[in-house]
Amino acid sequence: MNADPLEIQKFSELAHRWWDPTSEFKPLHEINPLRLEWINARAALAGKKVIDIGCGGGILTESMARKGADATGIDLSDKALKVADLHSLESGVQVRYELIAAEDMAAREAGQYDVVTCMEMLEHVPDPGAIVKAAATLVKPGGHVFFSTINRNPKAYLYAVVGAEYLLRMLPKGTHDYGKFITPSELAQFVRAAGLQVDGLKGMTYNPLTKIYSLNQDTSVNYMVACSRPL
């Protein structure tokens, strides 16, 4: 299977703190409004059938459902999915969660989704190209696919590993493996090989002094890619 058991375990061990905005997941809580608005501006989520691959505790999945999407979240961490499910029950937002690999879901529900999202997940899997392929299979012709990951260069190592894990201690040590980071051109190759087209690229930066995240053209560390499946 295209999953690293240690990665899944790492997220499972932290899962009970997923919705604590001061926890290890604080960065995900803080970037969520930014990425949600970016996705919504491009894909108009209301009424759309959406699948979130590697949804974890459901921060993005639930927020897309709040925008009116018919949202499904999939992950391989049972604990994260239980937390996601409980949270959606508590907040009264309807979301469907399922423990299933992206490739298996693609075989079962090919071409059934208007929008596919896969955020902060590709850098944790052995074969990211296969996940991109699964996302391309899940989306309908004319539909949108969004990915986010971390670039691979000395600055990304400094910010995403040394800065976030060691200096600022925003993330537990070992959260990210530099060797698994993906450059925008590598991701674009996976995207094109899967039959999708790249529509846009967005950088996401963190200012350690103001502690504020923003979206801009700086893709040197964190970035997102908007893609679509041609009709």
Q: Does 81 bind ligand SAH (CB under 6 A)?
A: no
d(CA 202, CA 147): 10
Quote the tokens at residue 17. Answer: 């703190």
226, β-bridge pairs: 146, 200
Q: Does 135 bind ligand SAH (CB under 6 A)?
A: no
Q: Does 121 bind ligand SAH (CB under 6 A)?
A: yes
Minimum CB distance to ligand SAH smaller for 21 or for 141: 21
Of residues 5 through 64, those in contact with ligand SAH by CB under 6 A are 7-8, 11, 28, 54-56, 59-60
CB of 219 to ligand SAH, least distance (A): 17
Q: Which one of residues 45, 76, 204, 226 is an interface residue with ligand SAH (CB under 6 A)?
A: 76
d(CA 11, CA 79): 8
CA nearest 135: which of 189, 176, 196?
Answer: 196
Q: Which one of residues 119, 161, 204, 225 is an interface residue with ligand SAH (CB under 6 A)?
A: 119
Strands (DSSP E) along the chain, which ranges?
Answer: 49-53, 70-75, 95-99, 113-119, 139-150, 197-207, 212-216, 222-228
d(CA 23, CA 144): 31
224 annotated to bind ligand: no
CB of 94 to ligand SAH, least distance (A): 19
Q: Does 204 bind ligand SAH (CB under 6 A)?
A: no
Q: Which residue is associated with the tokens 């004319």?
A: 142
Applying CB under 6 A, which residues contact ligand SAH?
2-3, 7-8, 11, 28, 54-56, 59-60, 75-77, 80, 101-102, 119-121, 124-125
Please report, in range form, the residues annotated as the binding site for S-adenosyl-L-methionine: 35, 54, 75, 119
